[in-house]
Chain A
């Protein structure tokens, strides 16, 4: 497919929230006034240097930024090709990139006078980050989490509860992330006036995809500077896993107009794309409308949303952020996928080679690094977004390995 590429990939969305045909504001009327109010509040905050200053303060002193750009030396030697760096978002307070976005949204919620915060979560990292910021600022916090995910991410459920949040297990639909998002939207429709919906990824109705991206761009901005300091130049390639796509967008966006930088997003292929049991919306889906935006979605011939499958709760979502859909169609970001098996193998190898237990989500990105890196020259600089730490996944991985032995 040849497409006319724009002069810049960084100007979207348009004023109605569109990235090409993707994005938009497909929500019930009850929510529309809230969405417009949020957009106005965010536009005002963005223009206020005081807001940025306050955020920077919390990101430095509470979150612990900047996160290091770490040279993964033994992995590089083992793969024998590209020089691999990890962007260490796993070292942030709460253990993942999610906190960057949550810090921004909670600051905004407080500016808007909202005291009740709701969130959806899959792996629980976004839920933990939201519960953490709510504890810090004394806000009520309710987290919707699919019942299946409550089971497989117990450590995070316990963390959220300890932080004072209420975790509501969702038993509608497939009991995973998409259903948690439905339930959060239902809560928001019911409690419009006092509630702020803190969405955890670059999806949902406009302005969420753009706002969450902006808050996550700190990842890419730091990476630029750190790579400049370490190697005196830009990286040659970027690799990140894709659930909704927030850690990926945060890393990618500041580099989109540097055409020399190759960019790879890695979706979860579950049991393999041909099996139909996967969470790869770009590889196995097509454009449709869900959760407030048009984007690539997994669905059947009638437009009914199908269940996603992945060992990683954070990637187990049948959609992807709308800006990623557009970047895919434009050919700027290349979308790959990794299976459960490949992710678990990468999880083990990274733990044992680098002394870093990655979350299962970025283990998907690592799985593709294993076959990309060996084919590249030794002076090729590759950055992998280590979006989170894997403590939460130890039980899942152990159970998975035990079931494979049988």
Chain B
């Protein structure tokens, strides 16, 4: 069974380039603006869309994404609306993969079975749940895979060769390599080290490897796209969005464009990468 994620990475591989994966928070700064941003992302150059499911206590996120989640919650975002946002996106785009990213509690409280059913019906393709390591696979990973969703796991610099197989087992769609030990939006990754890490993961899996955490500029995106199959950018986009808000924290007339301008530049960076031939 192939998913939109599988098809998208296969098509980009044929094109000879990496994917630009964008992260924005569902409902940030409000539902309508977040939907408008999501709809504008593919044209701006996003190949895969990650949508954050806001949570009050995002323990692996830095200040930018923490604030984005709180803005969304303050504007009334919840799981029902996040799934609705995906459904409305799908009306005009049936190809761009959507991955929901967040923490387990809101899913657990929504109800795992109902969440999977509703997410698939809405047009979600994959899940990244930060606080579900392989040790907790029975909670959501196994039911999600059975239901036909991709379950995308984070591999980190602390995931050594001994542990990597456990992390990759039951991972599908792609592997998300967290380029630093740290929270989102922290220090920039060292491109050489990242490239070596991508090679290490690829020795263990045929899945595409996307790299994220700390990527901010088109130039950084280009450097990582030389070897990785995808580049994930989150905090930088969320920061630009925040910068476009008016004094009361409401979306300004330039909010959508501020986001798409950055995404276009990042996409140029990714496309200009000279790919290292596959080893």
Contact = CB atoms under 8 A, between A and B. Distances in A.
Interface of A: 16, 24-34, 172-173, 178-179, 182, 185-186, 189-193, 288-292, 297, 299, 301-305
A173 B56 contact: yes
Interface stretch (B129-137, B202-210, B251-259): B129-137
B66 interface: yes
Nearest to B186: A190
B181 A190 contact: yes
Contacts of B186: 190
A182 B154 CA distance: 19
Interface string B168-210: 0000000000100111001000000000000000000000000
Interface centre among B79, B130, B133, B160 (most CB of A within 10 A): B133
Contacts of B132: 26
- The 8 A-B residue pairs with the shortest CB-CB distance, nearest first, are A303-B109, A303-B106, A302-B78, A190-B182, A30-B156, A26-B131, A185-B59, A28-B60
Contact of A305 (B56, B79, B157): B56
Interface residues on B, range: 35 or more
B60 A33 contact: no
Contacts of A299: 105, 109
Contacts of B66: 172
Interface centre among A25, A31, A186 (most CB of B within 10 A): A186
A324 B115 CA distance: 29
B235 to A, nearest CB: 14
Contacts of B58: 182
30 contacts: A24-B135, A25-B133, A28-B60, A28-B130, A28-B131, A28-B156, A30-B157, A30-B182, A32-B159, A34-B158, A172-B63, A182-B58, A185-B59, A186-B59, A189-B181, A190-B182, A191-B181, A192-B158, A288-B105, A289-B103, A289-B104, A299-B105, A299-B109, A302-B79, A302-B106, A303-B55, A303-B105, A303-B108, A304-B56, A305-B56
Given A189-B181, A288-B109, A305-B56, A33 B163 contact: yes
Contacts of B71: none
Contacts of B63: 172
B246 interface: no
A173 B133 contact: no
B57 A182 contact: yes
A303 B79 contact: yes
B167 interface: yes
Contacts of A297: 105
A178 B60 CA distance: 14
B73 A304 contact: yes
Nearest to A297: B105
Contact of B57 (A16, A24, A178): A178
Contacts of A16: 135
Contact of A29 (B104, B109, B154): B154
B270 to A, nearest CB: 25
B39 interface: no
Contacts of A192: 158, 181
Contacts of B104: 26, 289
Chain B facing A: main interface SS: loop
Interface string B120-133: 00000000001111
Interface centre among A29, A31, A291, A303 (most CB of B within 10 A): A29
A371 B253 CA distance: 62
A29 B104 CA distance: 14
Contacts of A304: 54-56, 73, 78, 106
A288 B131 CA distance: 13
Contacts of B183: 186, 189-190
Given A33-B159, A189-B60, 17 more contacts: A16-B135, A25-B135, A26-B132, A29-B154, A30-B178, A31-B158, A32-B158, A32-B163, A33-B163, A189-B181, A289-B108, A299-B105, A299-B109, A302-B78, A302-B106, A302-B109, A303-B105
A26 B140 CA distance: 12
A30 B158 contact: yes
Contacts of B130: 28
B20 interface: no
A173 B57 contact: yes
A186 B106 contact: no
B140 to A, nearest CB: 10
Interface string B96-114: 0000000111111110000
Contacts of B54: 304
Contact of A32 (B79, B108, B110, B135): B135
A26 B159 contact: no
A54 to B, nearest CB: 29
Given A25-B136, A29-B153, A29-B167, A289 B57 contact: no
A27 B109 contact: no
Nearest to A172: B66
A177 B10 CA distance: 46
Interface centre among B60, B79, B153 (most CB of A within 10 A): B60
A34 B105 CA distance: 23
Nearest to A306: B56
B238 interface: no
Nearest to A182: B59
A39 to B, nearest CB: 11
A338 to B, nearest CB: 26
Interface string B145-165: 000000001111111100100
A29 B213 CA distance: 14
Interface string B42-62: 000000000000111111101
A187 to B, nearest CB: 9
A29 B159 contact: yes
